[in-house]
Amino acid sequence: MVSDRDFFEPYGARGSSASVPGYGNDIPRRSQNVMLSETHIFSPNFLNEVRLGFDRVSLRVNQQNQGNNLNKAVGLPTVSTNPRDTGLSEIVVSGFSTLGDEINNPQRDTANTYELIDSASWARGSHLFKFGIDVRRLQQNGFADVESRGLLEFVGFTGNALAEMLQDAPSATAIARLDNPQHLRTQSYNFYAQDTWRARPNLTLTLGLRYEYNTPAVDPQDRASIYDPATHSIVAVGKNGIPRAGYNADKNNFAPRLGIAWVPDAARRWVVRTGYGIYYDQSALAPSEGLYFNLPYFNSQLFIPTAQFPIILENPFPSNYPGFIPNGAFTFQRNLRTPYMQQWNFSLQRQIGLSSVAELSYVGTKGTKLIDNRDINQAKPSPQPVNLRPVPQFADIDAYESRGNSNYNALQARFTQRFHAGLSALASYTWSKSIDDASGFFSSAGDPNFPQDSNNVRGDRGLSNFDIRHRFTLCYSYDLPLPAKNILLRGWQTNGVWTFQTGRPFTVTLLPGVDNSNTGLPSIGFGVVDRPNVVGNPNLSHPAPDRWFDTSAFLTPPFGAFGNAGRNILAGPGFSSVNISLIKNTMIREGLTLQFRAEIFNLLDRANFNLPDSFLGSPSFGRILSAGTPRRTQFGLKLLF
């Protein structure tokens, strides 16, 4: 099977600061997969199935101006000689829309997975045994041309960042020179056994155990390097006791599973279910890409103007820069563990009539040893003009560690109407809360996902970026009961998907690029962002797009200090959408049907606002500047055969 998708992202800049068109991303994607399967019946109670599979997913992220050297057109230098890197340097003006093509692009990622699965089922008495293996070989090939066009930042030290840009006075610039194509290889070995025991006619117990071993991802030529905390230097992998992957393998991944299903009443209308299981992360490829962002394969240079050596736009990346600004580095926790989730649930299910089911459930999830990121070379806050990092020959040293935790609890209610009298429907409601240390590696519109204080990561524990406290959905399909004898009236059907949910949280921060804590800026454009002090209640009883929260409740801390504002302490706008369709099926002959479709998305034309500007110091701080799509109507004809 081959599947192609070509997606265009109109605003490609990091975070939510882009509102000028012309600098988006083209994101083509192709997936291919094939599988061979053989099922063999050894006896009436013993069945075995073997599967051989191959899967390839290739994804590119190309800046919109690839092939168009805008740097040359506007008088900026061309940083990379590779044609795929052309475009415009990313230009960050605090408080205004970002200009230029996104700093992390172009990118390409092609992942190949070869898989062998053998599973067997053996029925014996009241037991059904299942056991098998799942062996995978994974390959990832790609590149990420970070800072290949350069970065220009105008922070606004004079109080007006736009004026600084017009006066040819950048606050900082950066470029990267790289020779780091990515080639990662790993294997996954999984074994499992499970017994489903029908202990009584109304009681079923399931007990299983799974073992997983994922080899750490390595470069086949060991063409990678890593920061070694023992020697405070960049070292080659695979030599002098340094693991080829940068960290040692985790061989302790046992995952038990337990399930119980009980029918307590003779009428068999009630079902009680409960279960518990441990589930390990399967892929170690994405974090291992950091192996390619150390010297000598990746060299990022930061330029900060001084009175003796100002930086100008005619030469923003000077080759004769006199100062020494250290490079950043990347490393792994040496005993990095495999992340895992514990999941448990308890549910009551009740059949209503012949075709309806109501269910009430409690669901819990706890994430442990999740991969997280921090700067292990962050300086302590200080008002001193010169505040050296612990290892002064390096800038930030980003360390991936298995220290993250998460916690999710939810009350879920669901009503299912199986198809009856022309109607099928599913209604569900979830009341939940999700807490974690960080919800991802890189920045998002809601939360920078990087600890403000890398020496106190517990200070960043808060609501998850994706925490949605209340969510209700209704989907249905109904065959309209119109007279069947009239060809114009018969065959009509209406469908709908209704969604209502509360808003997701977001974090208030200082402007990116403002090192108010004096602890050091990230070397490649993303990472720590300082937060303000909270001096009052920022919540408003009647928030509006032009003032979503009380901006006066936040103040910039004294220089050389962290702010006390927590992570994700405010909630954004909710979401509401009613999508409906009207369909008419007209049978032309047996096996051939003409279908007419009329579909309306966001029927009520509700303005679903995006998150507000959360950067203290921005001219639009506290305001909502954009919203989702308005009501859309489309018509279509389909020929079904």
Average pLDDT of span 53-74:
94
CB 465 within 8 A of CB 568: yes
Q: Is residue 269 scored above 70 in pLDDT?
A: yes
Question: What distances in angstroms separate CA 25 from CA 6, 174, 326, 534, 635, one per listed residue?
Answer: 11, 21, 31, 37, 29
Token pair of 69 as six digits:
């050297």
On the question of pLDDT at 40 being above 90, the answer is: yes
pLDDT digits (tens, 9 = 90+) for 327-360: 889 999 999 999 999 999 999 999 999 899 999 9
High-pLDDT (> 70) share of the chain, %: 97
Distance CA 173, CA 103 (A): 12
59 half-sphere exposure, CB direction, 13 A CA radius: 12
Q: What is the mean pLDDT of residues 355-382?
A: 95
- What's the one-letter identity of residue 608? N
Residue 216 DSSP symbol: P
Q: Is the pLDDT of residue 16 over 60?
A: no
Contact, 498 vs 473, CB < 8 A?
Answer: yes
> For residues 153 and 262, which has the higher predicted lDDT (pLDDT)?
262
Could you identify the residue written with the tokens 């209640």?
A: 537
Q: What is the pTM of this model?
A: 0.87
Q: What is the dihedral of CA 412, 418, 420, 423, to 10 degrees?
A: 60
Measured CA to CA, the distance from residue 487 to residue 593 in angstroms comes to 13
pLDDT digits (tens, 9 = 90+) for 600-630: 999 999 999 999 989 898 888 999 988 988 9
The SS3 of residue 78 is coil
Q: What whole-number distance in Å separates Cα of residue 233 and Cα of residue 238?
A: 15
d(CA 27, CA 9): 7
Query: How confident is the model at residue 443, as a pLDDT?
Result: 45
Where is 166: in which H helix or E strand?
Answer: helix 161-166
pLDDT, the chain, mean: 91
Tokens of 337: 């563990």
- What is the pLDDT, as a whole number, of residue 162? 85
Q: At residue 590, does pLDDT exceed 90?
A: no
pLDDT tens sequence across 164-177: 888 888 988 999 99
**Beta pairing, strands 356-375 & 397-420:** antiparallel
Question: Which has the higher per-residue pLDDT, 485 or 431?
Answer: 431
Asked if 8 contacts 63 with a C-beta cutoff of 8 angstroms, the reply is: no
Kindly tell me if the per-residue pLDDT of 525 is higher than 70. no
Quote the CA–CA distance of 282 and 76 in Å, as a whole number: 44
Closest CA to 447 of 557, 565, 623: 565
Q: HSE on the CB side for 217, CA within 13 Å? A: 24
Helix (H/G/I), strand (E/B), else coil: 28 = strand
> Which pLDDT band holds residue 485 (cuts at 50, 70, 90)?
confident
What's the confidence (pLDDT) of residue 575?
97
Q: What is the mean pLDDT of the segment spanning 34-42?
A: 96
Question: Does residue 418 carry a pLDDT above 90?
Answer: yes
The answer, yes or no, to whether residue 441 has pLDDT greater than 80, is no
Phi first, then psi, for residue 576 (nearest 5°) are: -145, 130
Nearest to 327 by CA among 396, 376, 389, 384: 396
Q: Give the span between the Cα atoms of 106 and 603, in whole angstroms.
A: 38
pLDDT at 20: 83
CA angle 461, 331, 435 (to 5 degrees): 15
Tokens of residue 244, six digits? 């080829």
| DSSP conformation letters of 546-585 | TBSS-GGGEEPPPTT------TT-EE---EEEEEEEEEEE
As a whole-number percent, the residues of the chain with pLDDT over 90 amount to 73
Residue 298 has pLDDT above 90, yes or no: yes
Specify the residue for token string 């996902």: 449
Residues 379, 363: Cα–Cα separation, whole Å:
41
| Pairing verdict, β 509-510 and 615-616 | parallel
- Centre a 10 Å sphere on the Cβ of residue 105 and count the other Cβ atoms it contains: 26
**Closest-CA residue to 244 (of 298, 282, 291):** 291
**Residues, the chain, total?**
641
E strands along 201-318, which residues?
203-214, 225-228, 233-236, 254-262, 270-280, 298-303
Above 70 in pLDDT, residue 554? yes
Which pLDDT score, from 0 to 100, does residue 445 have? Answer: 47
In angstroms, the CA 390 to CA 386 distance is 13
